[in-house]
């Protein structure tokens, strides 16, 4: 090889000129973003994102359930490929939303505002948690064109409920996400072992972790103290000792026994769409459709509540069949690839929701990190559809079951056929 040939092969990149460019060079998947987040955060804070209930079996199953489904591409022209879809009657750039997460400013000072701005730029809905660290009104003021949904819990206290609904409507939130999987806080043992509290308290371990992550510590200390402003009027003011303490205080204030009548009453009080969040039961999904709920968010709370709760993907086909198009279906839990989202859509979901992935992006690089995560999902969904031979989300949803196969079902079928062939042969020989 001649010297000029060698020179033509040399490609020296200059330094990244922006956060966006640095992310594009270093993070080619959600797992890459996750690793960057892990390096930026103290272990106890990162474990708060990662952890689940008890033995974390639900967390693991949420991921492994996607491996049970394989793609069956079909040959044909793919023209004008488009991720655009609709969700709760309005257009979205892709069938994806950011699910509500609590304590978001723990991961980066931009917190909910950074995530909301990235969602606005990507034209996808954003769910704000009841336990958000930014007031709902401020999120509205900063993102006037964003489709904002607010996450609440069923409340037996009608006065408290109406006050919350009035405040939510006045702040311009179009839909409610109603948690039905939080009658008690999950036993999140990682947090207990780490001595995690929200907001963090100064303990020797906290000081050491902060010293090992000085950028995070500096940002945390120089910004406003972590608080939960959407709880005003629900719990007493002042810091709460820990996440379980915070939930116990909230539960004791508003969580007297609630049932389907509570949700019927909520439906009568709220004129906008309502999503029934935390459902893995086809029976419950059918009842929710009967009482006028608009959407089912098939979810086990990311495996953070009841351990061994069914994986959303495992129950999705049954729920889709049972509700028979009467409500829209959103799926969350374990989604880490655009191909995961495509599998859920092929199995009948209208859209998918992500929580941990965008928190990784937020921890890694604030708003730019969330935007990068959304770009990864868009690119991966586009590439998967192209390789499947699908041009649009509607085409995928109309013909979804033909594009996926459950590997366990295929194995059982092939084993049955093989066994049947083997047992038939001797009988044929004996009769001849």
- Which pLDDT score is estimated for 201? 66
Vertex 289 angle, CA 186 and 171, to 5°: 70
Lowest-pLDDT range of 24-33, 56-65, 179-188: 179-188
C-beta atoms surrounding 315 within 10 Å: 21
Q: Where are the beta strands (DSSP E) in 190-253?
A: none
Q: Which residues contact residue 42 at a Cβ distance below 8 angstroms, ignoring those fewer than 6 apart?
A: 206, 209, 210, 212, 213, 216, 217
Confidence grade of residue 428 (pLDDT, cut at 50, 70, 90): very low
In whole angstroms, what is the distance from residue 351 CA to residue 329 CA? Answer: 7
Dihedral pair phi/psi, residue 169, rounded to 5°: -65, -45
- Which pLDDT score is estimated for 194? 87
- In this model, does residue 178 exceed pLDDT 70? yes
Q: How does the average pLDDT of the chain come out, rounded?
A: 87
Mean pLDDT over residues 31-60, rounded? Answer: 95
Query: How is 346-363 classified by DSSP, letter by letter?
Result: HTT-SEEEESHHHHHHHH
List domains and CATH numbers for the chain: 19-402 (3.20.20.70)
Check if 372 is active-site: no
Q: Which residue has the tokens 């959103």?
A: 330
Mean pLDDT over residues 32-58, rounded? Answer: 95
- Which pLDDT score is estimated for 256? 60
- Which pLDDT score is estimated for 121? 98
Q: Per the residue annotation, which of 301, 308, 372, 408 is the catalytic one?
A: 301
Q: Which residues contact residue 341 at a Cβ distance below 8 angstroms, ignoring those fewer than 6 apart?
A: 95, 96, 335, 352, 377, 381
What tokens does 401 get?
């079951």
- Which pLDDT score is estimated for 156? 82
Query: How is 125-166 classified by DSSP, letter by letter?
Result: -EEEPTT-SS-HHHHHHH-TTS-EEEEE---S-HHHHHHHHH
DSSP secondary structure letter of residue 296 = E
In whole angstroms, what is the distance from residue 134 CA to residue 115 CA? Answer: 11
Q: Which residue has the tokens 């059982």?
A: 412
- Which pLDDT score is estimated for 425? 40
Q: Which residue has the tokens 């439906």?
A: 267
C-beta atoms surrounding 271 within 10 Å: 9
- Which pLDDT score is estimated for 7? 64
Vertex 122 angle, CA 293 and 341, to 5°: 60
> pTM for the whole thing?
0.88
Helix axes 338-346, 312-323, angle to 10 degrees: 30
What tokens does 200 get?
């963090």
In whole angstroms, what is the distance from residue 285 CA to residue 293 CA? Answer: 9
């Amino acid at each position: 090889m001649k010297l000029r040939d060698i020179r033509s092969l040399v490609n020296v990149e200059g330094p990244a000129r922006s956060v966006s460019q640095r992310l594009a060079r270093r993070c080619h998947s959600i797992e890459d973003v996750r690793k960057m987040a892990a390096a930026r955060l103290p272990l106890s804070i990162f474990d708060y994102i990662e952890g689940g209930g008890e033995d974390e079996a639900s967390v693991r199953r949420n991921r492994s359930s996607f491996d049970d489904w394989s793609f069956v591409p079909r040959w044909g022209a793919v023209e004008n490929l488009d991720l655009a879809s609709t969700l709760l009657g309005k257009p979205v750039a892709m069938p994806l939303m950011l699910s509500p997460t609590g304590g978001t400013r723990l991961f980066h000072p931009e917190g909910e505002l950074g995530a909301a701005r990235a969602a606005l730029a990507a034209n996808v809905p954003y769910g704000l948690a009841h336990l958000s660290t930014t007031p709902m009104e401020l999120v509205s003021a900063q993102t006037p064109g964003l489709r904002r949904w607010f996450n609440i819990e069923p409340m037996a206290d009608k006065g408290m409920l109406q006050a919350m609904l009035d405040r939510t409507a006045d702040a311009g939130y179009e839909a409610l996400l109603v948690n039905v999987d939080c009658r008690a806080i999950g036993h999140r043992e990682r947090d207990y072992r780490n001595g995690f509290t929200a907001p963090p308290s100064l303990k020797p371990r906290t000081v050491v972790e902060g010293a090992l992550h000085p950028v995070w510590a500096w940002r945390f200390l120089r910004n406003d103290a972590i608080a939960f402003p959407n709880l005003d009027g629900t719990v007493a003011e002042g810091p709460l000792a820990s996440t379980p303490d915070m939930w116990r205080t909230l539960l004791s204030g508003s969580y007297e026994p609630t049932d389907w009548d509570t949700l019927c009453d909520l439906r009568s009080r709220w004129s906008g769409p309502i999503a029934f969040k935390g459902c893995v039961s086809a029976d419950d999904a059918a009842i929710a459709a009967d009482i006028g709920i608009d959407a089912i968010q098939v979810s086990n709370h990311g495996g953070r509540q009841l351990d061994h709760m069914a994986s959303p993907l495992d129950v999705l086909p049954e729920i889709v069949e049972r509700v028979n198009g009467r409500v829209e279906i959103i799926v969350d839990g374990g989604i880490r690839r655009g191909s995961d989202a495509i599998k859920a859509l092929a199995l009948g979901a209208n859209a998918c929701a992500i929580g941990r992935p965008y928190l990784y992006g937020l921890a890694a690089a604030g708003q730019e990190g969330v935007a990068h995560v959304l770009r990864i999902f868009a690119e991966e969904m586009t590439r998967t559809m192209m390789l499947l031979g699908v041009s649009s989300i509607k085409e995928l949803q109309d013909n979804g079951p033909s594009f996926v196969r459950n590997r366990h079902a295929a194995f059982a079928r092939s084993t049955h056929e093989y066994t049947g062939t083997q047992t038939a042969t001797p009988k044929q020989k004996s009769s001849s």
